[in-house]
Structure 1
Amino acid sequence: MSRIRSVAGSTGLHRRSLLAATGAVALSAGAGYALRPGDGGTAAAASGAGSEEAVLASSRKAPPAPLAPYTRGTTVAGTAAPRGGPGYRRLADGPGWGRVVRGDLAVARSGRAGRRTALAAFVHLTDLHIIDTQHPLRLEYLRSADVHAWRPQEALTVQGAIALVERINALRGAPVTGSPLHFAMTTGDNTDNNARSELEWFLTVMSGGRVTPNTGDPRHYEGVQNSGLKQYWHPDAAVRDADKQVGFPHLDGFLAAAAREVNSPGLNLPWYSTVGNHDSMPLGCYASHGDSRLTELAVGGRKLMDVPAAEAHRLQQAIKKATDPRGVRYGDFLKAHARTMRSVTPDDRRAPFTPAEYLRAHLDPAYRGLGPVGHGYSAANLDAGTQYYAFRIADDVLGISLDTTDPGGHYNGSLGTAQLRWLERTLRENRDSHVIVFSHHTSTSMNNTHRDPARPDERRHTGEEVAALLGRHDNVVAWVNGHIHRNAVTPHTGSGGSFWEISTASHVDFPQLARVIELVDNKDGTLSLFTTLVESAAPARTDFTDLSQTGLAALYRELSLNAPGARTDLSGAPEDRNTELVLEKR
C-alpha cells in the first residue's frame, strides 16, 4: 500500500519536511487529536479530550533545496578515540566509523540513493541518568563488592547532557538525506534515582534554563567523593584512593565546579519523553511509593556510604534476582546500618516523585521549551493514570511511546494487558501509516512479570509477546529503545511483517552518543532506516585546568572511558552503529 502523499520538487524531500512548522501532536491515552497543517497552529481535540486544544510545536524550517547530508559532529566524520597504553587514557580526535548496509530483512537494490524520498528524521536520546550525586538513597557503597557500581564521572551528568543538547542544536540537517530533524525522543532513565531534584534538572536541560546541580548544603559538597573512603575517587583531596592509583588525576576545585550553576540552551526542536524504570522507581528497582521509610531517608540527614563487601554482594544479588521488588528488606537493611550512616544536610527536593507528579512536571509550562505541551503526555494521561501515547510524526508516519516499566518492581520491564490491547488497537487503526514504536526496555529485557499493585488481576506481558504483536502488523518499521546501555540493531520477522529493533547506548557510560534515525522510501518496493551516532559538542581532548561548563563536559566523557570496571563493548559492533537497515515496503 502506498503511503506517499506527494514529493516536493526533485529534491527527494517528503512533503512533511517542508511542513516542518507543524510538529507532532499527542494522541495520548486513547484520546485522538486531528492534525491539520495550516490551520493556525492548533489542532482541535477529535474525541475524548474535552474542549482543550493542543498547540502544535514548531520544528525546524526546511533549508533551501537542494538538501545536502550534514555529517559534522557525527561519528561518520570522527569520533573521540582513546590514545595511550594501559592505565588512565586520554581522548583525542579519531577517525569516523563507516556505514554498514544490512540486508537481513530485504535486498538493498542498486540505484536507490538516487530515488529515495525522506519520510522522517529525528534524534534518539536515552539513559541520560541525570544524577543527584549527594542523594542519601544512592547505592554507591555497592562498589565495595563491584567496582563498576559507582562511576567517577557521575557528578557531571548535567554538564554532559547540556553538551549533547548543544550538539543536536548544531545539526543543520540529517546525515544522509539532509532532511530537517523533526523532533527528539528520549527513551527513559532520564533521571537516575526518581528524585524531584533530578527531574527538575532533566526538564531544564531539555527545555532550556539555568541549573545548579547541587542539593543539601549549598556551600559545600556532601557525598562520597570527599568522604575519605578510598574506594571512591577524591578529585581535590590528598587521599590516595583506588582510582588515583590507576591514574585518575588530582583536580583542585573539581567538586565546587561540578556543583556550580550552568546554562542549557534547550533543544531547538520539539522533544518527546518516554518513561524508564529509574524515572518510575527509587533506585530504578523498588516499587516503594508510599513507603514512608524510604521517603524519610531520601529527604533526611543521613547517608550510607560504606558497607562490607559481603553485605554489598548480598544486596546486589537481591536486586538482580528481584527477591525484594517492593524494597521491604532494603528498608530493613538501611535501618540496620543507621549508626554507620554519615550526617548530610536534609533536603525536601530529594523526595521521590510519583507517576502523576512526573506527568504534571512534563505538562508544566515552565518546561515547555519548543513543545509540544507535555512532551507527548497529556491531561488525558493524567486522568487515566497512564504514561503511554501516540503522536503523528509525519503525514504517513506515526510514533507510539510505550510505558514498559513494571510497577511491581525490578529494573526489567513488561506491559500490562490494557496497554497491550491499546497498542494493538492503535496499530490497527493506523494501518495506513508507517509506525515507529518507542520504549525504554528492549525486547530481551522485558522479562519481568511482577503484578502491578494497583491492578493485581492484570497479566503482564513479556518482550517476546510484544515483538510477536508488532510482527503481526506490516506497518511497523522500527522499535527504538535503550535500557541496556549498548548499541544494538536486531532484525525481527513476524507473521505479518518485519521490523528493526534499534537500541541506543546510554549517555552516562562511554562512548556517550546519541543517534539520528532517518526513514526513507527507496521507491523500489523497499524502505531504509539510516542510523547515525553523534558525539556531544564537548571537545574530545580534555584540559585538566579547564573546569568551565564545556571543560567539565569533556572531562565527563574521558572519565567515563576510564571508569574502573566499565564495559568496553557498549559502542556495539560496526553493524550496530552507523547503518542502513533495509526492509520491504508493505
Structure 2
Amino acid sequence: MSSINRRQFLRRTGLAGLSAGAALSLAGSPFASAAGLDRALALSARRAVRVGGTTLEQVATPSGGAAGYQRLAAGPGWPLVVRGELAAAQSGRDDRRTALASFVQFTDMHLTDTESPMRFEFLGHLDDAACRPQETLTVRGASALVERVNALGSGPYTGMPFNLVVTTGDNTDNHEQIELDWYLSVMSGGLITPNSGDPDRYEGVQNSGDPAYWNPELAFQDTYKQAGFPQLPGFLTAAGRTFRAPGLTMPWYTTVGNHDDSIVGTLPDLGLLGDVYTGNRKLEGVNAADAAQIFALFKTDPAGALLKIGQLLGDANLVRQVTPDDRRKPFTPKSFAQAHLDPAVTGPGPFGHGFTADAAASGDLYYTFPIADGVVGISVDTTNMAGWADGSIGTAQLHWLEHQLQAHSGHWYDTDGNVVRGGAGGDYIMVFSHHTSTTMGNLLPDPRNIFDGRHNGSELVTLLQRYPNVVAWVNGHTHMNQITAHGHAVPERSFWEVNTASHIDFPQHARVIELADNGDGTISLFTTLIESAAPYATSFDDTSDTNLAALYRELSYNDPFAKPAAKIGTSLDHNTELLLAKPSR
C-alpha cells in the first residue's frame, strides 16, 4: 500500500471527528487518579483512528483480592504516552502525519512439547521457565493471538493495513522438529495436534502424581491446588486434541532465538543427544540438592550440567517411561531454514519467510527484507550455540550488517564522527533480533565458527548509531515490556530499542508498531500492545478451544513462580509515541 495521510484516511472513513493534535505529556503524572486516567484514555482515543482490540481499550486485570488464585476481567486500557527524549513533539502533527509502515511483532511464543524427555521441569521452583502451569496450551494461545491480529488488520494510529508480522525468536521452546511444525502451522494455518508420544494420552509431569506440579485432572491437593488452582477434568486430553489454526492473513517473517537452537535455550546441543530427545526416558524424580546443583551448572558450566543430567538418566528410580517419538528430534540452523522453504507453509508468503536456499545450505539465519516502500527490516541472529541463554553477534555477521546499513543509507558517520556520503540509499531501517542490547554479553566462541570473534550489545548500539536511517531495534528475550532511548549528541544518530513481553508468560503481549512522518522534521513510532482474541472470563468445566485459550492467559497470571508485575513494564513501555529527528537526506 502506498503511504497514506492520516487526515485523508479519517475523511475517507468518516472518522474525522477523532482527529486531535494534542499530545499527552509525561509531566504531571496524568494517570495518578481515576479522573486523570479517564482524560488520558479519552485523549489517546481522539488521536487514534480506533482503539478497539488493543490495550488502549482494555487490559486483562485481576478481579479478586490480593491473595489466592485470581480470575481476570477487562480493566481500564493503557493510554498513549508521548516520549520526547530524542526529539520534541510538535503541535498539529496528527493532521500532518503520513503513514510509512505498519506491522506486528510476535516474540517468545515458546511453543512447547511438554511431554519431551529433554525438559527439566524439576528446576521449576528455581526458574519459572522450566515448568509453567499453562504450557500445554501454548499452541492454542498463539493461535488466539493470530486471530487477534487478523481481526485488527491495521494500525490504531495511522489506520495503515499491516504490512506483515515478524517474530523475534524463541518460536519453539526446545528446538524440536515437532515444535517447529506447530509454529509453522500456527503462522500459516492448518490442522495441529499439540501432543507427542502416545497419541491417546498425555505423558508429562502434569499427570505424574508428583505434588510439586499442577496435576489438573487429579483430585489430590498438589502445591498448586493448595494455592487455589482448580481441578479441571478432561483438561490434558482437551489440550492435546487436534484443532485447526487459522493462520495469518498477511506476510510473516521469522527471527531466530536461543530456544530455537539450544537445549532448553541454555545448554549447547552438539548433536549428541538426539536419542534422549526421541527416546523413552523422562527425568522427573530429581531431589532438591541435585536440582540445585544442575541449576548452578546451567549458569557456570553448561557442559557440566549435561554430564550431570546424563548421570541421573541412568538411575531407573528417577526416570519415567514414556512413548518414544522421532518427531522430537532437534533441528539444526540449517534444517530450521529448510523447514520454512516447504511450500505447504508459505501461507500468505513470502516463500521462505525470510530464509533462502542459501540459508538452508549455510545455516546463516540473517537476512534483509522489505517492510514497506522506503522502509527495510534487517533480521539478525544473536544466538550463541556455545551455551547460556544470552547472546552476541559474530564478526562476519557484524560486517554483513554494516554492509546492509550502508546499502540502505544515504549517508552515515565513520568511527571518527565524519559524515560519509553513500549512494542512492535512503530507506528507514529497523533491526530485529532476539536478544536485547543488555543481554548480548555471551562472548564464548560459537561452535559454528570458533574462529569468528563475538561482539556484545554495546558494540551493536555504537554501530547502529553511526547510521541515521536506523530508527528502531526491535527484540524480545527478556519476557518484559521495555522501551529504551539510545540518544546521541547528534540527534539524527539516535534510535529507539523496543523490547516486548513474551507470549508464554503473562501479560502475553504482542506489539503493533507504526512508523509515520510528521511533516515537521520529526518521525513517530507508535507502539501499541495487544492481547490475544481469547476472552478474559474462564470456566472450569469447559474444554472448548475458546475456553482453553482463555485459561492459557489466566493460568499464566497465577503461575506462583513467575513475576508478572516485573514483566508488564511501566506506562513508558506500553502504548507509546516515540519521537525521532528525521534523518537529513
Query: TM-score range, shorter-chain basis?
Result: 0.7 to 0.9
* 1:295 aligned partner: 274
* 1:33 aligned partner: none
**CA–CA distance in structure 2, aligned partners of residues 392 and 516 of structure 1:** 17
* 1:572 aligned partner: 569
C-alpha displacement at 1:282, in angstroms? 1.8
C-alpha displacement at 1:335, in angstroms? 3.8
CA contact (8 A) 2:104 2:166 kept: yes
Q: Secondary structure at the match of 1:129?
A: coil
* 2:448 aligned partner: 454
C-alpha displacement at 1:119, in angstroms? 0.4
Q: Mark the CA change 1:409 to 1:148 in structure 2 (over 3 Å): closer, same or farther.
A: closer
Deviations 1:43-68 (A, max 9, x none): xxxxxxxxxxxxxxxxxxxxxxxx97
Deviations 1:3-22 (A, max 9, x none): xx976796269xxxxxxxxx
Q: Is residue 2:363 matched to residue 1:374? A: no
* 2:119 aligned partner: 138
Q: Mark the CA change 1:430 to 1:300 in structure 2 (over 3 Å): closer, same or farther.
A: same
Aligned residues: 526
Q: Secondary structure at the match of 2:463?
A: helix
Q: Within 5 A, what are the aligned runs for 1:186-225?
A: 186-225=167-206
C-alpha displacement at 1:332, in angstroms? 3.3
The counterpart of 1:306, out of the listed 280, 285, 289, is 285
The counterpart of 1:422, out of the listed 400, 415, 421, is 400
Q: Mark the CA change 1:133 to 1:502 in structure 2 (over 3 Å): closer, same or farther.
A: same
**CA–CA distance in structure 2, aligned partners of residues 117 and 325 of structure 1:** 53
Q: Could you tell me which amino acid in structure 1 is paired with residue 212 of structure 2?
A: Q
Q: Mark the CA change 1:252 to 1:95 in structure 2 (over 3 Å): closer, same or farther.
A: same
Q: Within 5 A, what are the aligned runs for 1:551-566?
A: 551-566=547-562
CA contact (8 A) 2:334 2:361 kept: no
CA contact (8 A) 1:287 1:327 kept: no
More off after superposition, 366-375 vs 146-155: 146-155
* 1:100 aligned partner: 81
Identical positions, percent = 54
Q: Mark the CA change 1:388 to 1:544 in structure 2 (over 3 Å): closer, same or farther.
A: same
The counterpart of 2:433, out of the listed 439, 442, 448, is 439
* 2:486 aligned partner: 492
Q: Within 5 A, what are the aligned runs for 1:315-394?
A: 315-321=294-300, 323-325=301-303, 328-394=306-372
CA contact (8 A) 2:4 2:160 kept: no
Task: Give TM-score, length-normalised by structure 2.
Answer: 0.87
C-alpha displacement at 1:338, in angstroms? 4.7
**CA–CA distance in structure 1, aligned partners of residues 366 and 256 of structure 2:** 9
CA contact (8 A) 1:12 1:118 kept: no
CA contact (8 A) 1:505 1:513 kept: yes
* 2:512 aligned partner: 516
**CA–CA distance in structure 2, aligned partners of residues 147 and 200 of structure 1:** 25
Q: Secondary structure at the match of 1:283?
A: coil
* 1:535 aligned partner: 531
Q: Mark the CA change 1:144 to 1:80 in structure 2 (over 3 Å): closer, same or farther.
A: closer
The counterpart of 1:504, out of the listed 500, 507, 521, is 500
The counterpart of 1:244, out of the listed 225, 230, 233, is 225
Deviations 1:257-304 (A, max 9, x none): 00011111100100000000001112112222321xx21111001101
Q: Is residue 2:49 matched to residue 1:69? A: yes
Q: Mark the CA change 1:470 to 1:326 in structure 2 (over 3 Å): closer, same or farther.
A: farther
Task: Give TM-score, length-normalised by structure 1.
Answer: 0.87
* 1:52 aligned partner: none
C-alpha displacement at 1:443, in angstroms? 0.5
CA contact (8 A) 2:188 2:247 kept: yes
**CA–CA distance in structure 1, aligned partners of residues 389 and 265 of structure 2:** 6
**CA–CA distance in structure 2, aligned partners of residues 230 and 264 of structure 1:** 33
C-alpha displacement at 1:389, in angstroms? 0.2
**CA–CA distance in structure 1, aligned partners of residues 120 and 356 of structure 2:** 33
* 1:412 aligned partner: 390
**CA–CA distance in structure 2, aligned partners of residues 417 and 513 of structure 1:** 33
Deviations 1:339-361 (A, max 9, x none): 42010001001110111110111
C-alpha displacement at 1:310, in angstroms? 1.7
* 1:477 aligned partner: 471
Gaps of 5+ in 1: 14-66
Q: Secondary structure at the match of 2:438?
A: helix
* 1:262 aligned partner: 243
* 1:11 aligned partner: 8
**CA–CA distance in structure 1, aligned partners of residues 111 and 308 of structure 2:** 23
The counterpart of 1:78, out of the listed 48, 58, 65, is 58
Q: Secondary structure at the match of 1:215?
A: coil
More off after superposition, 305-314 vs 361-370: 305-314
Q: Mark the CA change 1:526 to 1:260 in structure 2 (over 3 Å): closer, same or farther.
A: same
Q: Mark the CA change 1:424 to 1:117 in structure 2 (over 3 Å): closer, same or farther.
A: same
Q: Secondary structure at the match of 1:122?
A: strand
Deviations 1:395-445 (A, max 9, x none): 211100000001222211000000000111100111011100000000000
Q: Could you tell me which amino acid in structure 1 is paired with residue 260 of structure 2?
A: D
CA contact (8 A) 2:283 2:313 kept: no
**CA–CA distance in structure 2, aligned partners of residues 9 and 196 of structure 1:** 44
**CA–CA distance in structure 2, aligned partners of residues 400 and 231 of structure 1:** 43
**CA–CA distance in structure 1, aligned partners of residues 450 and 401 of structure 2:** 21
Q: Could you tell me which amino acid in structure 2 is paired with residue 313 of structure 1?
A: A
C-alpha displacement at 1:143, in angstroms? 2.6
Q: Mark the CA change 1:526 to 1:328 in structure 2 (over 3 Å): closer, same or farther.
A: same
C-alpha displacement at 1:326, in angstroms? 8.0
Q: Mark the CA change 1:117 to 1:519 in structure 2 (over 3 Å): closer, same or farther.
A: same
CA contact (8 A) 1:507 1:514 kept: yes
Q: Could you tell me which amino acid in structure 2 is paired with residue 461 of structure 1?
A: H
**CA–CA distance in structure 2, aligned partners of residues 325 and 463 of structure 1:** 25
Q: Secondary structure at the match of 1:243?
A: helix
* 1:226 aligned partner: 207
**CA–CA distance in structure 2, aligned partners of residues 9 and 444 of structure 1:** 36
CA contact (8 A) 2:298 2:305 kept: no
**CA–CA distance in structure 2, aligned partners of residues 378 and 505 of structure 1:** 29
**CA–CA distance in structure 1, aligned partners of residues 444 and 316 of structure 2:** 30
* 1:122 aligned partner: 103
Q: Could you tell me which amino acid in structure 2 is paired with residue 562 of structure 1?
A: N
CA contact (8 A) 2:6 2:97 kept: no
Q: Is residue 2:161 matched to residue 1:167? A: no
C-alpha displacement at 1:205, in angstroms? 0.6
The counterpart of 1:584, out of the listed 577, 581, 584, is 581
More off after superposition, 373-382 vs 188-197: 373-382
* 1:59 aligned partner: none
Deviations 1:308-329 (A, max 9, x none): 11211121121123x2258642
The counterpart of 2:521, out of the listed 525, 530, 533, is 525
Q: Mark the CA change 1:495 to 1:296 in structure 2 (over 3 Å): closer, same or farther.
A: farther
* 1:26 aligned partner: none
CA contact (8 A) 2:169 2:258 kept: yes
Q: Mark the CA change 1:219 to 1:259 in structure 2 (over 3 Å): closer, same or farther.
A: same
C-alpha displacement at 1:545, in angstroms? 1.7
**CA–CA distance in structure 1, aligned partners of residues 146 and 393 of structure 2:** 31
Deviations 1:528-548 (A, max 9, x none): 100000111000111112211
Root-mean-square deviation over aligned CA pairs: 1.8
CA contact (8 A) 1:235 1:252 kept: yes
